[in-house]
C-alpha cells in the first residue's frame, strides 16, 4: 500500500539521520580517530541495523567532508591538517566579514529587537552562549562541542539566510573534527578554550559591531595559536 511504503521511507530516512548523527558524535568525541577505517558491514553490526541506511549515512558524512570513501576498503575518518584548519578559519572570517558589513547596513534580526519574537530568539541564543561559556571555562570539551555548535547555528540564523547558516555550520563541524584530536591531548583544558559567547551576543544586541568583530578576530587568533602549539608539541 502507498501508506506503508511512505512510512518505510520515513523510517529509513530517520534511521539514516540517527546513524549519521551518532557517527558524527563518535568522530567529534575522538572515539573514531583520523584515518581510522571501517566498513558498512561493521557499522551495521555495531548498531544492529541493515546495511542500506548505514551506507546512506556514511555517504552523507563523506559529502560533509568528515569521511573519505574508498571503493575497495570502505570508509575512513578524514584527516585534517593544521593548514586545513587555517583555511577553514579564513573562509569563516571572509563570510562573517560580509555578514558584519550587511549588519552595519541594517540587515539582520539584531536590528529589530522591538519584535518580541526576535527578542526571544536573541535571549535563547544568549542562554546557549552561557551554557557554552560554562563548559569552556570548566574545560569540558564534550559538553562544549554540543553547545557550541548549537550556539553558532542559532546565532547565525538571526542573520536570516539559511544558506549561510548551513555553510558556517558545516565549517564549524569540520573545525571541531580537525581540532579535537589535538585538544584531547591536554589533560586539563581549563583556561585553554575560548569562552566569550555571552559577551559576543551582548555586543551584537547593543549594536556594537566593532566590538563584536574584535571579539571574533581575537577568537580566531586564539584558536589558531592553540592548535598550532598543540600540533607542534
Q: Which of 25-29, 65-69, 102-106 has the lowest mean pLDDT?
A: 102-106
CB within 8 Å of 158: residues ≥ 6 apart: 108, 109, 110, 118, 121, 122, 125
Spatial contact of 200 and 215, defined as CB atoms under 8 Å apart: yes
Through-space distance between the first and last CA atoms of the chain, rounded to whole angstroms: 61
Listed residues 25, 51, 77: the one ending a domain: 77
What are the two backbone dihedrals, phi and then psi, of residue 41, each rounded to the nearest 5 degrees?
A: -60, -45
Residues 104 and 15 occupy one common structural domain: no
Residues 193 and 152 occupy one common structural domain: yes
Residues 28 and 101 occupy one common structural domain: no
Listed residues 48, 77, 106: the one ending a domain: 77
Q: Give the pLDDT confidence of 110-165 residue by residue, as tens digits.
A: 655 667 887 888 899 999 999 999 999 999 999 999 999 999 999 999 888 999 99
d(CA 51, CA 57) in angstroms, rounded, equals: 10
Structure-block grid coordinates of residue 59 = 555517504
CATH number of 23's domain? 1.10.10.10
Residues 157 and 119 occupy one common structural domain: yes
Residues 172 and 96 occupy one common structural domain: yes
Residues 52 and 119 occupy one common structural domain: no
Model confidence, pTM: 0.87
- Indicate whether 79 pLDDT > 90: yes
Using alpha carbons only, what angle is made at residue 47 by residues 16 and 24, rounded to the nearest 5 degrees?
Answer: 55
Helices (H), 162-208: 162-183, 197-205
d(CA 156, CA 129) in angstroms, rounded, equals: 13
Residues 72 and 96 occupy one common structural domain: no
Residues 164 and 202 occupy one common structural domain: yes
Listed residues 37, 62, 77: the one ending a domain: 77
Residues 13 and 107 occupy one common structural domain: no
- Indicate whether 4 pLDDT > 50: no
Tell me which residue range forms the domain holding 25: 2-77
Residues 156 and 225 occupy one common structural domain: yes
CB within 8 Å of 151: residues ≥ 6 apart: 125, 128, 129, 131, 132, 197
Structure-block grid coordinates of residue 140 = 569540558
Quote the number of domains for the chain: 2
Residues 62 and 100 occupy one common structural domain: no
Amino acid at each position: 500500500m502507498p501508506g506503508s511504503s511512505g512510512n518505510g521511507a520515513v523510517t529509513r530516512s530517520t534511521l539514516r539521520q540517527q546513524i549519521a548523527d551518532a557517527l558524527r558524535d563518535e568522530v567529534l568525541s575522538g572515539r573514531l580517530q583520523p584515518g581510522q577505517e571501517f566498513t558498512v558491514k561493521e557499522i551495521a553490526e555495531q548498531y544492529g541495523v541493515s546495511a542500506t541506511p548505514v551506507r546512506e549515512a556514511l555517504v552523507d558524512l563523506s559529502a560533509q567532508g568528515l569521511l573519505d570513501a574508498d571503493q575497495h576498503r570502505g570508509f575512513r575518518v578524514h584527516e585534517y591538517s593544521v593548514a586545513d584548519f587555517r583555511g577553514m578559519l579564513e573562509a569563516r572570517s571572509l563570510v562573517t566579514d560580509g555578514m558584519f558589513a550587511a549588519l552595519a547596513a541594517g540587515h539582520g534580526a539584531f536590528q529589530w529587537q522591538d519584535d518580541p519574537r526576535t527578542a526571544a530568539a536573541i535571549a535563547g541564543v544568549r542562554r546557549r552562549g552561557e551554557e557554552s561559556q560554562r563548559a569552556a571555562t570548566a574545560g569540558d570539551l564534550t559538553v562544549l562541542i554540543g553547545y557550541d555548535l548549537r550556539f553558532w547555528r542559532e546565532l547565525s540564523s538571526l542573520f536570516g539566510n539559511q544558506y549561510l547558516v548551513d555553510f558556517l555550520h558545516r565549517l564549524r563541524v569540520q573545525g571541531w573534527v580537525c581540532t579535537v584530536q589535538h585538544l584531547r591531548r591536554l589533560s586539563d583544558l581549563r583556561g585553554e578554550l575560548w569562552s566569550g559567547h555571552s559577551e559576543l551576543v551582548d555586543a551584537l544586541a547593543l549594536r556594537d559591531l566593532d566590538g563584536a568583530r574584535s571579539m571574533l578576530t581575537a577568537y580566531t587568533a586564539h584558536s589558531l595559536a592553540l592548535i598550532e602549539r598543540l600540533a607542534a608539541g
